[in-house]
Amino acid sequence: MTTSARTKFSPDELTQISLGFEGQRPEEMLRWAFDAFGSGVGIAASFGGASGAVIMDMALKLKPDVTIFYLDTDFLFPETYAYIDAFTKRYGVTPVAYKSRLTPEQQAARHGPALWQRDPDKCCDLRKVEPNARALAGLSAWATGIRRDQSGARGGVNLVEWNKKFGLVKLNPVAAWTKKEVWAYIFEHKVPYNLLLDQGYKSIGCTHCTRAVGANEDERAGRWSGTDKTECGLHT
C-alpha cells in the first residue's frame, strides 16, 4: 500500500499505531495526532452524543485552537442548537457549521417532500455526507466519537485507521471506552452535554429520524427507527 499525500503513514502503519494505543487513555492518541498532523486535525462534533462531548473537552485542553466542526442539517433539535450555544460560551470556541448545498425547501422541490421517509440514504447524502466532505477538505485527520459498544456495526472499529471514503486518517479516541466511562468523565470534568440525553435519547441526530429509546435497546436504536438503516454514511 502506498502512503497518501495527506498522511505520512501507510494504512498498514496506521493499523500498528492503532494497536499500540489499545489500553491507553484517549488523550494519548489525541496528543500523538496533534504532534503528527498539527493544525491538520479536525474534531467532528455531532453535539448529540456524550462521546463527542468528551473528545471536544479533551482536545481543547491539549490544543485550544483545534478545529471543531459540525454538520447543521437544518433538522437538528432545539436542544442541540442550545447545546452548541452553551458549548461556545463555556469554551470560548465557535465550532464551524457545514450545511447542505440545498435548503430544506430546495431539497423538497427537487426530490419531493419528506425525503427522509422515502429515501433516508439520499437525505443523509445531501445533508451530511457531502457537507462532511467539504469539512474535511484540507485536513489530514479527523476525530470522531464513535464507540464499539454503541452498536454491533461499530464493534470492530479501530482506534486509528485510514478512511478510504474521505481520504484521510480517522481517529476514534474513545472507541474502546464504555458508556459508563464516558459519563464518568463528563461528571468528573463537568462537561456540558445535550440535555436530550437526560430524556431517554441515547444518540441524537435529526428530528425526523431520531426517537428516545428503551433502557434495554442499543444506543443507536432510536436512529432511523423502523428501517434497516443504521448509519448516516459518514462511518461506512
Low-confidence ranges of the chain (pLDDT < 50): 1-5
**107: in domain:** yes
**Across-strand partners of 97?**
70
**219: in domain:** no
pLDDT tens for 188-197 read 999 999 999 9
Instruction: Name the pTM for this structure.
Output: 0.91
Strand order in the sheet with 67-71: 96-98, 67-71, 41-44, 141-143, 168-171, 160-163
Q: Decide: 11 and 1 in contact? Cβ < 8 Å.
A: yes
pLDDT tens for 213-232 read 888 888 778 888 888 777 77
**226: in domain:** no
Q: Work out the burial of residue 150: count CB atoms within 10 Å of its CB; fewer than 13 is exposed, 13-18 middle, 19 or more buried.
A: buried
Catalytic residue among 123, 124, 209, 232: 232
Residue 203 belongs to domain spanning: 11-209
Instruction: Write the CATH number for 198.
Output: 3.40.50.620
Give me the pLDDT at residue 4, please. Answer: 45
**51: in domain:** yes
**230: in domain:** no
- Please tell me the total count of domains within the chain: 1
**223: in domain:** no
Coil, strand or helix at 76? strand
**69: in domain:** yes
How many whole angstroms separate alpha carbon 178 and alpha carbon 51?
Answer: 10
123 as an active site residue: the answer is no
**96: in domain:** yes
